[in-house]
Amino acid sequence: MMEMVFNVLAESWHVLVEASPYVLFGFFVAGLLKGFVPDAFMARHLGGRSVGSVFKAAVIGVPLPLCSCGVLPTALGLRRQGASKGATTAFMISTPETGVDSMAVTYALIDPLMTAIRPVAASLTAVFAGVLINLFPDEKDAPAPLAGLADGLSAGPAPRSSCGCGGSCAVPPRATFGARFASGMRHAFGEMIEDIGRWLLVGVLVAGLISALVPADALDHWVGSGPLSYLAMLVVALPLYVCATASTPIAASLLLKGLSPGAALVFLLAGPATNGATITVMLKTLGKRAAGLYVASIVVCSLALAWATDHLYAALGLDIRATVSNVDELLPHWVGVASALILLTLVARSFVGRGGHADSGG
């Protein structure tokens, strides 16, 4: 028993060491985006029911490091600002499915090709869903009042609760370069760590469990490849709450156990974009038809893109398992260890801060 626990912890530590430098880099870039790209900029470009507004929403959402929880008030704020249902939906899909932080971790733990496929797949899924929803609108398609969710998008500094997940949305208008940089870094290494740090560690622990306990090539025997493996990943991913960054080490571990690249992509797309909270909010704010098309689009696009991804890897003659097993050559070991210790310290500090907010009634 103790040997099994030790093996799980050892495998989890190995995943954390390999991922941490890229996680920290992703958070840094996320802080730059938060500090220097105003939220209101997005709202101005997403009005109307044109394909252009849907495409803009999908592309804008790709680099933003918001989880399924954090994206809800931002997306609903865009809806209140006048964004179409299609643009709102596109943003809600592309944003949690990928981000600068998750792309960095994908490069670290999987391979460069999957790093490129992931944002492209998220964008295609988002555009498909957004266009579909605009083509089949509900009878009542006017922006609904959202009881102040994300008022900070249009009214300067916002309270912490306006951004979901306990985060703050606002950067003061006309702030200096230093103030914006500091605000972005506080968001990235404070609020973002608090929002997704624990989920990242859960993802790392699950990856350790898979690596230590699942026999090599087990998935080849259990689910095989092709449509059956895609459907199996959909069943696992659709109800699961997992952010894009935390899903990556799990997918990497599954790949080492025999999962195909396409099936892994299904998990990476469907897991972050669908959960009970997201679907419930969509039902209440965008309507039953939009919510149904949202889920259907993710299912259809995930299956189609999984098939295309497997055929692409086969056509290029790439063995993704060989690449995943060699990720430890990317950076010196000491860089990974130092980054892992820094990341653990930041996560631990976020738990202390969370407890402080609770004690103070904030």
Query: What DSSP state is assigned to residue 151?
Result: G
Whole-number pLDDT of residue 130: 92
d(CA 318, CA 230): 19
From 136, 132, 150, select the one nearest 300 (Cα to Cα). Answer: 132
Gyration radius (Cα) of the chain, Å: 20
Q: Which residues touch 286 (CB under 8 Å, ≥6 apart)?
A: 79, 85, 88, 89, 133, 138, 294
137-168 burial code (b ≥16 CB/10 A, e <16) = eeeeeebeebeebbbbbeeeebebbbbbbbbb
CA 253-105-312 angle, to 5 degrees, is: 70
327-341 burial code (b ≥16 CB/10 A, e <16) = beeebeeeebeebbe
From 254, 244, 312, select the one nearest 68 (Cα to Cα). Answer: 244
Domain count, the chain: 1
d(CA 181, CA 186): 9
Whole-number pLDDT of residue 200: 74
Whole-number pLDDT of residue 144: 44
| Alpha-helical regions (H) of the chain | 2-36, 39-44, 51-61, 68-80, 85-97, 100-109, 112-135, 177-186, 193-213, 218-222, 227-237, 244-256, 261-273, 276-285, 288-316, 320-324, 333-359
Whole-number pLDDT of residue 17: 84
Instruction: Look up residue 256 and give its two tokens.
Output: 């080492």
**Is 329 strand, coil or helix?**
helix
**Is 90 strand, coil or helix?**
helix
Q: Is the distance from CB of 324 to CB of 252 less than 8 angstroms?
A: yes
Q: Which residues touch 176 (CB under 8 Å, ≥6 apart)?
A: none
Q: Is the distance from CB of 123 to CB of 94 less than 8 angstroms?
A: yes
Q: 273 burial class (0-12, 13-18, 19+ CB within 10 angstroms)? A: buried
d(CA 95, CA 317): 31
Residue ranges in the chain modelled with pLDDT below 70: 26, 37-49, 65-74, 76-78, 80-82, 139-174, 214-225, 240-241, 275-277, 281, 325-331, 353-362
Whole-number pLDDT of residue 241: 64
- Structural domain boundaries, residue 242: 2-359
Whole-number pLDDT of residue 355: 55
CA 70-339-37 angle, to 5 degrees, is: 35
d(CA 121, CA 298): 10
Instruction: Look up residue 255 and give its two tokens.
Output: 């790949």
CA 196-200-202 angle, to 5 degrees, is: 120
